[in-house]
């Protein structure tokens, strides 16, 4: 194997001196290059901003899907809660004694359903008679003049409402007083 030829520093100086220098750049060409550089920098910055916005949007969409993705299933489970609650409301003392084990099972099922709701961020809205009607949380099913109440007071609750995190799944169904202010 032959060793590469060593070049002396003075040999390099003579080689570069024989090369021709680059042509001079005119001010117009410099200005055109600057304009192109500025345009490319602008396009690059916009692409970075678009990428960042897409990342933020995807992150927000992921969080929303995580929090609210089960809202349809949750909405479909609300009648199950309503039916179990109604079943327990209509039981008489006589039936309670005769069917204690069955009723205990229904109560445990209802309690477990509420625990599952709670675990997934579903909160029950339970307005009471006398509370003020809020159209953001309640659905008025009827209006009736009731002595001793003010207009807009809740007089009866037909069904509880439910929230999923900060969104309303179902408004509470209520009756509202229409008694005019005296």
Nearest to 128 by CA among 155, 161, 168: 155
Full-model pTM: 0.66
Length of the chain as a residue count? 182
Q: Rounded to an integer, what distance in angstroms lies between the CA atom of residue 178 and that of residue 182? A: 12
- Average pLDDT score over residue span 62-79: 90
Q: DSSP letter for 46, please.
A: H
Tell me 105's DSSP state: H
Stretch 118-146: mean pLDDT:
93
- Alpha-carbon distance 117 to 123, whole Å? 7
Tell me the average pLDDT of the chain: 88
Kindly report, residue by residue over 46-67, the tens digit of the pLDDT: 999 999 999 999 999 999 888 8
Can you give the pLDDT at residue 9?
Answer: 53
The rounded percent of the chain whose pLDDT value lies above 70 is 87
| Domain-wise residue ranges, the chain | 69-177
In degrees and rounded to multiples of 5, residue 158 shows phi and psi of -90, -40
| Angstrom distance (rounded) from CA 157 to CA 127 | 7
What is the second-level CATH architecture of the domain 69-177? Answer: Roll (2.30)
């Amino acid at each position: 194997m032959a060793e590469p030829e060593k070049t002396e520093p003075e040999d390099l100086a003579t080689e570069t001196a024989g090369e021709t220098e680059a042509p001079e750049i005119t001010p117009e060409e410099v200005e055109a290059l600057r304009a192109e550089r500025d345009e490319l920098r602008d396009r690059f910055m916009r692409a970075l901003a678009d990428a960042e916005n897409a990342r933020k949007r995807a992150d927000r969409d992921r969080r929303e899907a995580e929090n609210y993705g089960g809202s349809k299933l949750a909405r479909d489970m609300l009648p199950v809660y309503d039916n179990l609650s109604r079943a327990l409301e209509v039981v008489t003392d006589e039936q309670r004694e005769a069917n204690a084990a069955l009723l205990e099972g229904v109560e445990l099922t209802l309690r477990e359903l509420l625990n599952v709701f709670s675990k997934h961020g579903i909160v029950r809205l339970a307005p009471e008679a006398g509370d003020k009607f809020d159209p953001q949380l309640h659905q008025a099913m009827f209006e009736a003049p009731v002595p001793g109440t003010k207009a807009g007071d809740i007089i009866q609750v037909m069904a509880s409402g439910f929230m999923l995190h900060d969104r309303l799944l179902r408004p509470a169904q209520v009756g509202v007083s229409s008694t005019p202010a005296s």
